[in-house]
């Protein structure tokens, strides 16, 4: 038996009506609510804008607060840096002051050292001055401590007896027992070519320390010599005899140029200077009116200068 075919219908008319009614209702509701949907979007947008504004304000507030803090912190840093700079300046000034103090100490030490040296030099100069004043015999400064006086006993010295004695007294006055002195006289009396006298009883070729007793003996000897003046002036022979003495200096006292045996005074200077060889100082003293005889002064000045000595003169009052 053939089966009859059946048509299958999924949706019935009633279902379609239901769907249609629901769709119509949805459309109506949508139309009714459409304005509200539009306003909702505006609100959303407004909210988003507000949120953005809030974030911006928060950022602004945050940024503003940070700047203020930074400014305050910068101010504190500036104050600290100012204090540090002040401290550095104080340290610099302190170091500068310390350096100045060290320099001042060095200068003080140098000044003290210099002052000590000056004091030492001054003391030495004073000692030297005292010593030189002591031995400024007739203004003849010398370092010598032993002397031989070579006195002219020629006839022309007779008129200078008193001034010769006074001059000898001035030579002896500043001397003490530390200094030694000898005296010789020279002349050419009568037919004698050369004659000398010297102090008796004194050892070492008539050299003795100048104690008061010996000063008296020396003055008596000179007085005796001045009573025996006579003849010519053998100056070179008298100086040659004086060079035999073991002394530091020779003091020649005369009233004129050489007369015998050699009248050439330049030759006398050459011979005596060569024989002396710079070993002894030779000082010269012109007796009488020497300023009236320039050649005589030249002779004595050159003789003294050639032998490390000095020249002076003693004139009549």
Q: Tell me the per-residue pLDDT of 173-198, one tens digit each, with 9 for 90 and over.
A: 988 888 999 998 999 887 666 666 67
pLDDT at 248: 93
**pLDDT value, residue 133:** 45
Confidence grade of residue 258 (pLDDT, cut at 50, 70, 90):
very high
Residues 304 and 195 in one domain: yes
In a domain, 270, yes or no: yes
Average pLDDT, the chain: 78
Report the pLDDT value the prediction gives residue 105, as an integer from 0 to 100: 75
Is there a single domain that holds both residue 228 and residue 295? yes
Quick one: three-class SS letters along 245-287?
CCCCEEEEEECCCCCCCCCCHHHHHHHHHHHHCCCCEEEEEEE
**Counting beta carbons within 10 angstroms of the beta carbon of residue 175, is it exposed (0 to 12), middle (13 to 18) or buried (19 or more)?**
buried
| Better pLDDT: 14 or 275 | 275
Burial annotation 194-231 (CB, 10 A radius, 16+ → b, else e):
bbbbbbeebeeebbbebeeebbebbeebbeebbeebeb
Q: At what angle do helices 161-172 and 212-226 cross, to 10 degrees?
A: 160
Q: Is the pLDDT of residue 31 over 70?
A: no
Q: Phi-psi category of 201—alpha, beta or left, where left has phi over 0 and alpha has psi -120 to 50?
A: left
Within 13 Å, how many C-alpha atoms sit on residue 266's CB side?
1
- What average pLDDT score do residues 58-87 get? 66
Q: Which residue did the predictor score with more confidence, 155 or 57?
A: 155
Q: Which residue has the higher pLDDT, 119 or 18?
A: 119
- Residues of the domain holding 240: 144-314
Position 219 confidence tier, pLDDT thresholds 50, 70, 90: very high
Q: Specify the CATH number for the domain of residue 291.
A: 3.40.50.410
Question: CB–CB of 273/308 below 8 Å?
Answer: no
pTM: 0.58
Whether residue 150 is found in the same domain as residue 234: yes
Q: Work out the pLDDT band at 93, boundaries 50, 70, 90.
A: confident
91 and 182 housed in the same domain: no
Residue showing tokens 């002040």: 86
On whether residue 7 sits in a domain, the answer given is no
Helices 294-306 and 265-276 cross at an angle (nearest 10°) of: 10
Q: Is residue 138 part of a domain?
A: no
130 within some domain: no
Q: Given 98, 117, 136, which residue is the final one in a domain?
A: 117
Tell me: do 177 and 255 sit in the same domain.
yes
> Contact, 243 vs 283, CB < 8 A?
no
| pLDDT interval class at 7 (50, 70, 90) | low
28, pLDDT greater than 80:
no
Arithmetic mean of pLDDT, 127-144? 67
Angle between helices 235-242 and 265-276 in degrees, nearest 10: 10
Mean of pLDDT values over 214-229: 90
* Co-location of 299 and 151 in the same domain: yes
Residues 156 and 59 in one domain: no
Report the pLDDT value the prediction gives residue 109, as an integer from 0 to 100: 77
- Label residue 115 by pLDDT band (50, 70, 90): confident
Mean pLDDT value of segment 282-301: 91
Residues 298 and 184 in one domain: yes
Same domain, 197 and 253: yes
Same domain, 149 and 223: yes
Cα(243)–Cα(276) distance, rounded to whole angstroms? 7
| pLDDT confidence bin for 131, thresholds 50/70/90 | low
Given 117, 133, 159, the domain boundary residue is: 117
- pLDDT of residue 215 exceeding 60: yes
Q: Please give the pLDDT value at position 67.
A: 66
The pLDDT, as a whole number, for residue 66 is: 61
d(CA 41, CA 52): 16
The beta strand positions in 188-255, using DSSP E, are: 195-198, 208-209, 249-254
List, in sequence order, every residue forming a beta bridge with 206; answer none if it has no partner.
Answer: none
Token pair 């000045």 is at which residue?
Answer: 301
Distance separating alpha carbons of residues 236 and 186, to the nearest angstrom: 10
* 139 within domain boundaries: no
Considering 101, 117, 133, which residue would you say is the last residue of a domain? Answer: 117
For the cut 80, the answer to whether the pLDDT of residue 38 exceeds it is no
Q: How far apart are CA 97 and CA 76, in angstroms?
A: 31
Question: Using one digit for the tens of pLDDT, what is the confidence trace for 75-88?
Answer: 766 776 676 677 67
**What distance in Å separates the CA atoms of residue 216 and residue 262, rounded to the nearest whole number?**
35
Do 158 and 296 lie in a common domain? yes
Instruction: Supply angle C-alpha 236, 240, 241, rounded to 5.
Output: 120
Residues 176 and 279 in one domain: yes
CA–CA dist 21, 247 (Å, integer): 170
What is residue 181's three-state secondary structure?
A: strand
- Judged on CB neighbours under 10 Å (0-12, 13-18, 19+), 189 is middle
Query: Each residue of 297-312: pLDDT tens digit?
Result: 999 999 999 999 999 9
More confident residue, 129 or 253: 253
Would the pLDDT of 281 be above 90? yes
Q: How many domains does the chain have?
A: 2
> Is 128 within the bounds of a domain?
no
Domain assignment of residue 137, yes or no:
no
Band (pLDDT 50/70/90 cuts) for residue 59 is: low
Q: Report the largest interatomic distance among the alpha carbons of the chain, rounded to a whole angstrom.
A: 223
Asked if the structure places residue 277 within a domain, the reply is yes
């Amino acid at each position: 038996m053939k089966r009859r075919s059946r048509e299958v219908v999924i949706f019935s008319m009633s279902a379609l009506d239901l769907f249609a009614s629901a769709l119509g209702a949805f459309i109506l509701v949508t139309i009714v609510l459409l304005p509200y949907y539009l306003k909702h979007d505006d609100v959303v947008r407004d909210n988003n804008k507000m949120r953005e504004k809030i974030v911006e304000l928060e950022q602004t507030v945050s940024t503003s607060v940070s700047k203020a803090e930074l400014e305050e912190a910068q101010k504190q840093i500036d104050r600290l840096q100012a204090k540090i700079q002040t401290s550095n300046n104080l340290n610099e000034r302190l170091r500068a002051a310390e350096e100045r103090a060290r320099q001042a100490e060095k200068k003080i030490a140098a000044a003290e050292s210099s002052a000590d040296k000056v004091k030492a030099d001054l003391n030495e100069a004073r000692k030297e001055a005292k010593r030189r004043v002591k031995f400024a015999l007739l203004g003849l400064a010398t370092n010598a401590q032993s002397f031989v006086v070579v006195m002219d006993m020629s006839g022309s010295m007779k008129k200078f007896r008193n001034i010769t004695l006074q001059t000898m007294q001035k030579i002896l006055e500043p001397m003490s027992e530390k200094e030694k002195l000898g005296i010789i006289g020279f002349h050419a009396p009568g037919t004698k070519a050369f004659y000398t006298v010297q102090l008796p009883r004194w050892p070492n070729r008539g050299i003795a320390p100048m104690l008061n007793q010996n000063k008296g003996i020396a003055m008596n000897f000179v007085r005796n010599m001045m009573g025996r003046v006579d003849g010519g002036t053998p100056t070179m022979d008298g100086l040659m005899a004086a060079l035999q003495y073991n002394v530091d200096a020779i003091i020649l006292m005369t009233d004129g140029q050489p007369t015998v045996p050699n009248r050439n005074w330049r030759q006398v200077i050459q011979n005596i200077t060569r024989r002396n060889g710079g070993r002894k100082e030779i000082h010269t003293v012109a007796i009488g009116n020497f300023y009236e005889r320039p050649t005589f002064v030249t002779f004595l000045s050159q003789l003294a200068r050639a032998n490390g000595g000095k020249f002076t003169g003693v004139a009549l009052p």
